[in-house]
Structure 1
Amino acid sequence: MQAPSHDSYDVVIVGGAIYGSAVAWFLVSNPDFQGRILVVERDPTYAFASTSHTNSCIRQQFSEPINVQISQFGAEYVKNFRSFMGNDPEVPALRLHSFGYLYLADNEGFAAVLRENQRIQASLGAGTKHMTADEIAAAYPFYNLDGIIAGNHNLTDEGYFDGNSLFDWWKRKAKQKGVEFLTNEVIAMNRNAAETEVESVILASGEVVSCGTVVNCAGPRAALTARMAGIEIPVEPRKRFTFVFEAAQPLDRDLPLTIDPSGVHMRTDGKYYMAGCPPDDDGPVDYTDFVEDHAIWEDKVWPILATRVPQFEAIKLRQSWVGHYAYNTLDQNTILGRHPQTQNFVFCNGFSGHGLQQSPAIGRGLAELITHGEYRTLDLSPFGYERVLENRPFVEKAVI
């Protein structure tokens, strides 16, 4: 473990994966922020971080306007990554592969939800189209649409991008600007007597580090970090399975990220295809449990792929892995911003699978909040911790 260079920092960020790096980058890039930043990461290989297991997808197909706007900024950021990074010639140009998401409805109730979602998305400038089964068949004749009555699809700024490059360059450039990334672990926090602020964090190596603000970017371990400050949040690790496969008869066009009514999703992945799903028993797991269940592929995923796309009857599994969602059991949306009592404790937790695509807008927003005391671009206050205290879910109907 490494020792910190100083005994006091203006901002201490717990967790250095996509969100720790995003908050650090946007903070250090804000001309009004003049502080010292420490990012504490327990595993610098990121081998088991949710960031390392992401499918790197982005969509505007949400039911809540703020989620649509967050992803719209995310798409703009990805497409203009080098520009947003100060036109640094070192920074790569990223591409957003816009094959779109395709939600399939097999009942009138969900079809009505899709129609309403499309109306909201279109009012915000998204390119979502509500389609009949015949229209889907005309655009993508490889589907078997038995039982499907409608769908929503968007080919504009919706699909796949290289999320690992986004993460890598935020971290790399934040370091160049003076952010200290420390291989260590925060194991405890000291609060003042009134419990209105975290005064310091204690590292596994024994050092006590004073902090002006502490930001919880601990991913699936967020509840453990919050507990150090005497705070409870409804975030737990849940397994998600990903499979990369090759088709003996490849499709003649891109496969949209298709959300089947069964819960299985599939998409183009270069010359291969990618599929994923939650387990049937979708409960909390141990923080270290990344054991695969090969029966899920054989008994659930492959049969659904072959049914929905008959050309996928002859496929070969090339790769598979298990990742963890930082799952917010209250409403599957992020918990964001300052704790109402412990004011210098900032949440960045519980993204429930939306994290990577939302990271540009959330990183920017938290940098504004920490620097200026308010959100100045998008109003992210609906995601505040107050709703957890009030048991008041932020209802998003388009959760995968």
Structure 2
Amino acid sequence: MDNQSYDVVIVGGAIYGSSLAWWLTQMTGFDGKVLVVERDPTYEFASTSHTNSCIRQQFSNATNIRISQFGAEFIKNFRAFMGGDPEVPHLVLQSYGYLYLADTPEFAATLKESQQIQASLGAHTRHMTREDIAAAYPFYMLDDIIAANHNLVDEGYFDGGTMFDWFKRMAKRNGVTYIHDEVVGMTLNAAKANVDSVTLKSGATISCGTVVNCSGPRANDTAQMAGIDLPVRPRKRYTFIFDAAHPLNRDLPLTIDPSGVHMRSEGKYYLAGCPPDDDPDVAPDDFEFDHSIWLEKVWPAIATRVPAFEQVKVINQWVGHYAFNSLDQNAILGRHTRVENFVMLNGFSGHGLQQSPAMGRGIAELIAYGAYRSLDLSPFGYERIETGQKFVERAII
């Protein structure tokens, strides 16, 4: 591939690299050559492969709410967005909702305020008293709970793996080139204002009009090649699939417990997850599993909240990585302030899969047309990283 030239070089081919690649093929008038460079085409350790594939409307920031509303529209109309090809499967959004439980007056007030913002944008979030929760879901222990928020419309689980697979398939079908290689260096122009080319591990040099960082938890490693610092690092997140000796008689919402543990139905089983109490940055290849987390944190929390879960058996478990933005746990998007052709799709901190339809579309618009058209994503811009001005979102899991 040496000395080839592409209009857009995308570093990383998982959910964001493939979402962007596909969306670029949907931009009217854009006919640029697009290259996706993926270091591991099995995606075994990609965050995309370890996702729990959930989507929620329950954010406190209006922009995040609108992003997820488009995400729900995209999931429910997936085949139509993919051109109506009968080969494309229908995606089902299983809307059992997120249930945020509040055990303090302060958090209850925050939930109430967030519910009002969500409702003003058309979300169906309901603010619930303890009595409301008990009536809807009598299996919870609620002695310490004051209130909750819940939404049964366009909020729950979907098949994110299939969505990713079809982003990738359709991008290739529409002319995007994918290669198994790794970007190991970037050459900037004399003014340090543009990336002229990327160097691959294979030794090839690729000239580029735009380079896009879709490196997930490795985002800062990629940015450093262009002399840019991103506050994005890998953080471990644990997931457990368990069977219950006494299954519940209805769906378990994606319950956000005050302990920091979340749980939900997973077919005939259940899923629970959490961060470790000590939550340091880790190496991007560190997937060592801490087996004490189940016994010391997860099982006590779920068995306390749902007494029926006193008798459960773990049948699968894994650890994945958040691409954790330590400034404000929200995405970093768009062009760098100095290196003008370096574009970022980074730092999603656990929101990545559900936000990928809207964010991929937005960056495709930015590259093709020079501006966001469908939804203004400028609040996620890199400028706030330089100034330390946080994107305020109170509903972080």
* TM-score w.r.t. length of structure 2: 0.99
> 2:76 aligned with 1:72, yes or no?
no
> 2:137 aligned with 1:147, yes or no?
no
> 2:36 aligned with 1:55, yes or no?
no
> 2:255 aligned with 1:255, yes or no?
no
Q: CA deviation at 1:154?
A: 0.3
Please, which of 221, 225, 228 is the counterpart of residue 225 of structure 2?
Answer: 228
In structure 2, the residue matched to 1:184 is 181
> 2:191 aligned with 1:167, yes or no?
no
In structure 2, the residue matched to 1:327 is 324
Distance 1:291 1:159 in 2: 29
Distance 1:267 1:32 in 2: 44
Q: Report how many residues are paired.
A: 397
Secondary structure at 2:25's aligned position in 1?
A: helix
Q: Which amino acid aligns with 1:105?
A: A
Please, which of 326, 336, 340 is the counterpart of residue 339 of structure 1?
Answer: 336
Distance 2:210 2:152 in 1: 41
Deviations 1:2-59 (CA, angstroms, capped at 9, x unpaired): x47x700000000000000000000012122100000000000000000000000000
Percent identity (aligned) = 68
In structure 2, the residue matched to 1:276 is 273
Q: Which amino acid aligns with 1:369?
A: L
Q: Which amino acid aligns with 2:256?
A: I
> 2:378 aligned with 1:381, yes or no?
yes
Q: Identify unmatched segments of 5+ residues in structure 2.
A: none
In structure 2, the residue matched to 1:137 is 134
> 2:235 aligned with 1:242, yes or no?
no
Distance 1:23 1:127 in 2: 29
In structure 2, the residue matched to 1:395 is 392
Distance 1:154 1:174 in 2: 33
In structure 2, the residue matched to 1:194 is 191
Q: CA deviation at 1:116?
A: 0.3
Please, which of 7, 12, 18 is the counterpart of residue 9 of structure 2?
Answer: 12
Q: CA deviation at 1:395?
A: 1.1
Secondary structure at 1:29's aligned position in 2?
A: coil
Alignment of 1:333-372 (within 5 A): 333-372=330-369
Distance 1:250 1:87 in 2: 39
In structure 1, the residue matched to 2:23 is 26
Q: Which runs of 4+ in 1 moved over 6 A?
A: none
> 2:78 aligned with 1:81, yes or no?
yes
Q: Which amino acid aligns with 1:328?
A: N
Distance 2:200 2:56 in 1: 38
Q: CA deviation at 1:196?
A: 1.0
Q: Which amino acid aligns with 1:307?
A: T
Q: Identify unmatched segments of 5+ residues in structure 1.
A: none
Q: Which amino acid aligns with 2:96?
A: F
Please, which of 157, 169, 173 is the counterpart of residue 154 of structure 2?
Answer: 157
Distance 2:177 2:25 in 1: 11
Secondary structure at 1:317's aligned position in 2?
A: strand
> 2:117 aligned with 1:102, yes or no?
no
Secondary structure at 1:82's aligned position in 2?
A: helix
Secondary structure at 2:319's aligned position in 1?
A: strand
Please, which of 118, 121, 126 is the counterpart of residue 121 of structure 1?
Answer: 118
Q: Which amino acid aligns with 1:63?
A: S
Distance 1:255 1:310 in 2: 13
Please, which of 297, 306, 331 is the counterpart of residue 300 of structure 1?
Answer: 297
Deviations 1:41-90 (CA, angstroms, capped at 9, x unpaired): 00000000000000000000000000000000000000000001110111
